[in-house]
Structure 1
Amino acid sequence: MSNPSPISIGLDAQTAQTKRVLIVDDSRLQLKIMRSILMKQGYEVVEAASGSDALEICRSDPPELIVSDWMMPGMDGLEFCRRFRTLPHEGYVYFILLTSKSEKGDIAEGLDAGADDFLTKPVNPAELRARLNAGVRILSMQQELSEKNRLISEALSELQVVHEAIDKDLRQARTIQQSLVPERSRVFGTSRVSLLLEPCGHVGGDLVGMFSPSEGRLGLYSIDVSGHGITSAMVTARVAGYMSSTFADQNIALRKVSDDCYDMRHPEKVAVMLNDRLAADPGVEEYLTMAYVNADLSSGHMNMVQAGHSPPLVLRADGAVTFFGDGGLPIGLVDDVDYDGLSCDLSSGDRLLLYSDGFTEAVLKSGKMLGESGLADLFRAAARQGEGTELLADMFWRLREAMADGGTLGDDVSAALLEYDVV
């Protein structure tokens, strides 16, 4: 009759052959018995007659499993286990202690020293095989986990390279987007325009700008594209071309009347033209809100359009605050839209603010949003302390200080400020 297959005792023969077992015992007979049992199961067996000899073997060529007697002269199995666990080695080694001890305190001491399992002497061959089978399963799981960790580490390294490349591109995209607002402040006669643009990420969907086709005439706008990130930033870049302050012939808010002479279109017409261009683009799902002002700086008369945007805010010289508009449809959302115009008159010292909802919808430490009344208070407080870009920077700082989550922006924040007849 042939010997039973290793599979019959629950251990794959090929797996066993790959496992190297160190047996440690000061008894030659015990070593011979265990070697015979293990070799029949396909293990590679290494022997040591003392704890110190076993430790030297482990330093030079560590096994995958160890079966060591507890009671040995010189370095006993417990001390050997304790010292072995301090040695550097790559994979985990399963350690079984042979002992006649059965007290719970002794078992606890062995576990504290680094033992994984225990066998009582005299050794029962079936129990020894079973304990080693358990160790092999644990080692296989550990090796599988190590392999998965290795693959994860490699994937993370690859992702890090990709992330760094994307981050570099996004930083460059941020630089390009900031270049869409080349001037943050400009004086027009006795009035001054200042701009604020603070995206919540590398790039954002807010855009502010100004242009002047002739002395005393000013176009001022605040735009908020739906969503965040690269797609929104691409739309803002396109819209910036439609409202160019550099190339008048490309600016849809301007109408050429003669060579190098341009007139300003009514704000309602500008909103319709911009809506027609965006709504006609196939595959573009983004839309935008806009507040646009056509300003006559000689008279202080402001013609405006509010296309789904936050209502323009006027802070009078005496501290009174007025919001204009009741909403309107966003631009690029539907075809064939008409927009209603708004108007107001500014007096010397008045301030007109166009802003995105990143201000009013900011969540404060109280859990509430800033809202329009909070924005009005913020505007008044900053206006008492400064002017121009310093005023806008102060508003942004006050907002961050009042916000929850340490002032982390959940949306882009932008503003366009006209200080009328203050210079």
Structure 2
Amino acid sequence: MKHSTETQGIVAQAARVLVVDDSRAQRQLLAVYLRRWGYEVLQSASGEEALGLCARERVDIILSDWMMTGMTGVEFCKQFRALPRSAYGYFILLTSKSEKAEIADGLEAGADDFVPKPVSSDELRARLRAGMRILSMQAELVEKNRVVAQTLDELQRLYDSLDRDLIEARKLQQTLVRERHRSYGRAEVSLMIRASGHVGGDLVGSFQIDAHRVAVYSVDVSGHGVASAMMTARLASYLSGASPDQNMAFKLMPDGSRAVRTPAELMVAFNRLMLEEIQVEQYFTMAYAEVDLRDGTVRLAQAGHPHPVILRREGGIERAGRGGLPVGLIPGAEYEGSTLKLCPGDRLFLMSDGITECPGEGGFDLGEDGLARMLARLRDLDSAALLEALVWDLADFAGNDRFPDDVSGIVIDYRG
């Protein structure tokens, strides 16, 4: 393992020991021992001189006499600990003192160990080895901390980069539902979508089939995050009114003309596309309705999606649809369409399960019955305001506005 610059002196080369003693003879004696054991030796005749040296030089271990002229070893130790050093210095006091109170003073000042005088070479060598073990462990800890800090910095840079990409992806995804309100003459469409994260897997939209028919749809891709968002973008291209040739609601006939798939046929076509061509682990649920603007006839199909809701002009609330399997799970899945009638002033509401399965503070999901109660309270609002108020009521039900799943819905008002 490589060590940091501050600690490489005790690993890649001989440890540097500073001997501090006002007795030149004592310094020379200790220096002889230290050089014989492989240490690099520095010497100072006073604590003041030693402090200046420690501020300039790398010092790994200090051997300091307790009783010296001028600054004592304890005072020197206190000031040494106050120096702005990044690497730890192991401090050994040389003393003839043995009283517990005096030893406590030395430890309080920052000393790591004591060697009694007169100094025994064997004991001194053992104390130095103990100090080296401490310094080696400190060096390893410093290096590991450096690696951790470097790794965290790299992760932060990656996170920042990913966060910027997700913000841009969110902007791009929002372009899929740029029109939150659209008029088709005899009908108006309002929609709402709120992702639980940066990007989501819900999609709602509408397009004109022909001069008399409008399609509305609600899609919920399994999972969350980037993969789901990419799938919604792909599905949006298959349900685009701007590109009829690519829109799967239409099928090309042998004579070159285009025919319109029924909602049930569209589910079958999507199921085949997911399993035979796209071939990913994801699947999606969907509700798709075709509304005839002339008489309010609605042809509807469901694929694992919550039941669409009809808000009658007179105040009644009805569920529509016959259920069905999610798209992309089972080869050869069949879907059953249903037909219903909208009268002037009625509204058809398609929504994702982020609404019906939103958990409340009591631990119970909102459910379709809870949704019906919310809609009954909000029925006097216009559709755009109703969708906005529904989100507020849902946040009140959940206890916060950070929903665990994407929340989306689309309402078509039939004017007749």
Determine if the TM-score, normalized by the shorter chain, exceeds 0.5: yes
Change (3 A) 1:260 1:184: farther
1:194 paired with 2:187, answer: no
How do residues 23-422 of structure 1 correspond to structure 2 at under 5 angstroms?
Answer: 23-254=19-250, 264-281=260-277, 283-325=279-321, 327-384=323-380, 386-404=381-399, 406-421=400-415
Q: Which letter maps to 1:411?
A: D
Deviations 1:154-177 (A, max 9, x none): 333333333333333322222222
| Mapped contact 1:188–1:216 kept (Cα < 8 A) | no
105-114 or 92-101, larger mean C-alpha shift: 105-114
Deviations 1:290-316 (A, max 9, x none): 011111233222221110111112233
Deviations 1:113-152 (A, max 9, x none): 2222233333322222222212212222222222233333
SS of the residue corresponding to residue 284 of structure 1 reads coil
SS of the residue corresponding to residue 412 of structure 2 reads strand
Q: Which whole-Å CA distance do the structure 1 matches of 2:260 and 2:141 have between them?
A: 69
- TM-score (ref. length: structure 1): 0.87
| Mapped contact 1:264–1:294 kept (Cα < 8 A) | no
Q: Which letter maps to 2:70?
A: G
Change (3 A) 1:78 1:198: same
Q: Which letter maps to 2:38?
A: G
Change (3 A) 1:104 1:368: farther
Q: Which whole-Å CA distance do the structure 1 matches of 2:118 and 2:355 have between them?
A: 79
Q: Which letter maps to 1:117?
A: D
Q: Which letter maps to 1:403?
A: A
- In structure 2, the partner of 1:8 is none
Q: Which whole-Å CA distance do the structure 2 matches of 1:42 and 1:234 have between them?
A: 65
Q: Which whole-Å CA distance do the structure 1 matches of 2:285 and 2:78 have between them?
A: 70
Q: Which whole-Å CA distance do the structure 2 matches of 1:319 and 1:78 have between them?
A: 89
Q: Which whole-Å CA distance do the structure 2 matches of 1:217 and 1:304 have between them?
A: 13
SS of the residue corresponding to residue 364 of structure 1 reads coil
Q: Which whole-Å CA distance do the structure 2 matches of 1:202 and 1:190 have between them?
A: 36
Is there any run of 5+ residues in structure 1 with no aligned partner, and where? 1-13
| Mapped contact 2:322–2:338 kept (Cα < 8 A) | no
Q: Which whole-Å CA distance do the structure 1 matches of 2:394 and 2:365 have between them?
A: 11
Deviations 1:294-348 (A, max 9, x none): 1123322222111011111223334433223453111111211210112332333
Q: Which whole-Å CA distance do the structure 2 matches of 1:103 and 1:126 have between them?
A: 23
Q: Which whole-Å CA distance do the structure 1 matches of 2:236 and 2:275 have between them?
A: 17
Structure 1 residue 267: deviation in Å? 0.8
Q: Which whole-Å CA distance do the structure 2 matches of 1:16 and 1:280 have between them?
A: 62
Q: Which whole-Å CA distance do the structure 2 matches of 1:117 and 1:407 have between them?
A: 59
Change (3 A) 1:327 1:73: farther
Q: Which letter maps to 1:248?
A: P
SS of the residue corresponding to residue 248 of structure 1 reads coil
Q: Which letter maps to 1:268?
A: A
Q: Which letter maps to 2:299?
A: N
Q: Which letter maps to 1:169?
A: D
| Mapped contact 1:206–1:236 kept (Cα < 8 A) | yes
SS of the residue corresponding to residue 91 of structure 2 reads strand
218-227 or 290-299, larger mean C-alpha shift: 290-299
358-367 or 298-307, larger mean C-alpha shift: 358-367
Q: 1:22 aligns with which of 9, 13, 18?
A: 18
Question: What's the C-alpha RMSD, in Å, of the aligned pairs?
Answer: 2.7
Q: Which whole-Å CA distance do the structure 2 matches of 1:249 and 1:63 have between them?
A: 78
Q: Which whole-Å CA distance do the structure 2 matches of 1:46 and 1:33 have between them?
A: 13
Change (3 A) 1:15 1:224: closer
Change (3 A) 1:110 1:347: farther
In the alignment of these two chains, the number of paired residues is: 407
SS of the residue corresponding to residue 23 of structure 1 reads strand
Q: Which whole-Å CA distance do the structure 2 matches of 1:381 and 1:160 have between them?
A: 46
| Mapped contact 1:69–1:97 kept (Cα < 8 A) | yes
* Aligned residues with identical type, % of pairs: 48
| Mapped contact 1:272–1:338 kept (Cα < 8 A) | yes
Change (3 A) 1:168 1:15: closer
- TM-score (ref. length: structure 2): 0.89
Q: Which whole-Å CA distance do the structure 2 matches of 1:195 and 1:213 have between them?
A: 18
